[in-house]
Amino acid sequence: MVAEDWFGDPIKTILPEEPRNLAFGYFDQDSLLDVAYQTLTRHLYILHNLGNGHFSSTAPYAGGIKDVAAGDLDHYAGDDIVTADTEEGSMLIYLSDGYGSFEPPLIILLDVELNLIRVADLDSDNDNDLVCFGILPPDYIESIIIYWGTGDGIDPNPDFYECQIDPGCMWGDDTDAKELKVADFTGDSLNDVLVCAFGSHYDCLNDMGIGLLRSVGDRQFSESVEWILREPGVCPNNCKYRDFDLGYLDADNLLDLGLNGDPEPDFRTFINLGDGQLVEGQGLDTIPGYYMDLGDLNRDGLTDLAWSHFAGGLSAIARGDGAGGMEHVQMLYSVLRDVEMADIDTHPGHEVVGFFEDTLTVYPNITYLDPSSVEQTQIAKSHLLQVSPSVVIGSGCDITLFTGASTSPHQHSSVEIVDILGRSRATLNLKQSTDGTAFAHWDGCNDSGHPLPAGIYWIRASQNEQIAATKVTILR
């Protein structure tokens, strides 16, 4: 696989307002993943997936200002939405009706100021719970807060686990959190809670750390958060955009940890040795990362990386090698925030999704169009498909299919021009010659004779139910 083969041109949707953060869920009756986002004006919007990388927005609902999460809380009619509002001390729960709309929100007034919320089945009882990071008055103790699911909602009486990176700080509420994860990190089949936290007051330690709240079963946890990774004195200046994610970076069955930001390299890996022990692995130094996500992007069973330096207008993709390392694959020249991997369209593979200001950007995954994806029906390696030039500027390109010297001139060969969304844009018949080749000239137009827009296209040649494919780029 070469650079630019994983993702096609970005697909952009203009939104009514700029998001603060995103949550993904199934909010209507189709099988397409939808998006919820809330804004600094305390509005909540639902973006219904149109299946082609674009979304349609609902009118605004009342929302919070801190975080939004999605998941099925009541075993009815798809995913529900939860918003958190620190200043108002409230949580809104929108229960889905399964048809793209939501019941009037359940308003839960809290004695807790929530910063982060996640919907996940923490105790593996098939009922989703709410896992949060927030501040507990009157002493303003930063805590991991768990609202247990009941099957038809949540128990409003939460459990608290102190999570202060500098408990001795005289200022109180000195710990802030950037990311919160629920996963089996210790390999004992029990879900744990991990948090990326840092000292947020200049007069405190200013440490950054990854905290582990270890599950011991039956809704019980270790007495306190264990700081399995801690770096002294690096905050608060460069912790604002810290981010981490979990993924299987090597060959064992333990989740490993990826972390972005300073100190260098720009992306760092920490291999899980078990029992909460980490050893630093191979890093990746390309562009500084603010937002990141880990997942399998090219469907090879290995964990890959997407990350963004939104102030510099760059994002990047790296391929995991299955041994703790990463290899740079592709630059994405877009400003992105809140980078996520999600299967947005109807084609195989996860897209890269993010936003900047009032624009949602989807990079469509085109690895399914690679020749290796049709390997079972691919023409033998000695039969090649060639395009010259591979970058079309004005006069089009010549397409040659090497079919073999013994091929009958009466055999039928055709070429289909396919865009990055898998849509057929043009069809050509190849002219068979007696020297074992079939050829055609393509002028860069669709079947109606109109020039196709600039972008990446795939040329798929078929002969006797066998297929070969190669890429061509049109510049206008």
pLDDT tens-digit readout, 66-85? 999 999 999 988 899 999 98
pLDDT tens-digit readout, 267-313? 889 999 988 899 998 888 766 677 889 999 988 889 999 988 766 67
> Is the distance from CB of 324 to CB of 281 less than 8 angstroms?
yes
What's phi and psi for 395, nearest 5 deg?
Answer: -95, 5
List C-alpha distances in Å: 115 to 80, 143, 179, 206.
Answer: 19, 10, 10, 19
Is the per-residue pLDDT at 125 higher than 80? Answer: yes
pLDDT tens-digit readout, 406-450? 555 556 678 889 876 677 889 998 888 877 788 889 999 998 888
DSSP-derived 3-state class of residue 27: coil
Chain centroid offset of residue 41 CA: 25
Q: Tell me, what's the pLDDT at 419?
A: 78
Confidence band of 466 (pLDDT split at 50, 70, 90)? low
Model pTM?
0.77
Q: What is the identity of the amino acid at 250?
A: D
Q: What is the CA radius of gyration of the chain?
A: 25
Q: Tell me, what's the pLDDT at 401?
A: 84
Tell whether omega for the bond before 288 is within 30 degrees of 0, i.e. cis. no
pLDDT tens-digit readout, 2-53? 444 688 888 999 999 999 999 999 999 898 999 999 999 999 999 999 988 8
Is the per-residue pLDDT at 121 higher than 70? Answer: yes
Architecture of domain 11-365: 7 Propeller (2.130)
CA distance 355 to 311: 13
Q: Tell me, what's the pLDDT at 236?
A: 57
> Is the distance from CB of 271 to CB of 281 less than 8 angstroms?
yes
Chain centroid offset of residue 443 CA: 37
> Is the distance from CB of 358 to CB of 18 less than 8 angstroms?
yes
Equal fold, 11-365 vs 371-474? no
CA distance 199 to 156: 29
Confidence band of 352 (pLDDT split at 50, 70, 90)? very high
Please give the sequence-ordered ranges of beta strands (E in DSSP) within 95-189, or none if there are none. Answer: 106-109, 113-120, 129-136, 141-147, 159-162, 175-183
Superfamily (CATH) of domain 371-474? Macroglobulin (MG2) domain (2.60.40.1930)
Q: Tell me, what's the pLDDT at 110?
A: 79
Selection from 345, 259, 417 nearest residue 7 by Cα? 345
Q: Where are the domains of the chain?
A: 11-365, 371-474
> Is the distance from CB of 469 to CB of 370 less than 8 angstroms?
yes
What's phi and psi for 129, nearest 5 deg?
Answer: -115, 170
Q: Tell me, what DSSP letter sits at residue 103?
A: P
